[in-house]
Amino acid sequence: MSVQLNHTIVAATDREASAAFLSGILGLPDPKPYGPFLCVEVDNAVSLDYLRSPGPIPGMHLAFLVGEDDFDVMFGRIKDQGVAYWADPHHEQPGEINTRDGGRGVYFEDADGHNLELLTRPYGSGS
């Protein structure tokens, strides 16, 4: 049996702005509409389907495993855009990145408070 994540729905007050923000930071193609969704497709055939939500947005956590060189480029975009970032998921280490397991990681938020993360090594994978 094979199980793969295909997509997840991400609630947003402004689906266009939120989807464009994420695809811009990650350097992905422009989001594509599908019904009421605006879809950001990542490299492993998973899509994040942004849906406009009128009510309070429950925060969610999305982590993206990226290569070392890609991390540099993406982290550069975060800094260039003046986006606040932290080394930890609880946002207690502002303006820092982490070096867990011999890799690098950083947390940042979108306009709806979704906790987004870039990491270069899966946690628990090494030194």
CATH number of 7-119: 3.10.180.10
pTM: 0.93
Contact 6, 47 (CB under 8 A): yes
pLDDT(107) > 90: yes
Reported as a single tens digit per residue, the pLDDT across 65-102 is: 999 999 999 999 999 999 999 999 999 999 999 999 99
Give the range among 21-25, 87-91, 120-124 with minimum mean pLDDT: 120-124
Taking the C-alpha atoms of residue 36 and residue 112, their distance in angstroms, rounded to an integer, is 18
pLDDT(12) > 60: yes
Reported as a single tens digit per residue, the pLDDT across 27-60 is: 999 999 999 999 999 999 999 999 999 889 999 9
Element (H, E) at 28: none
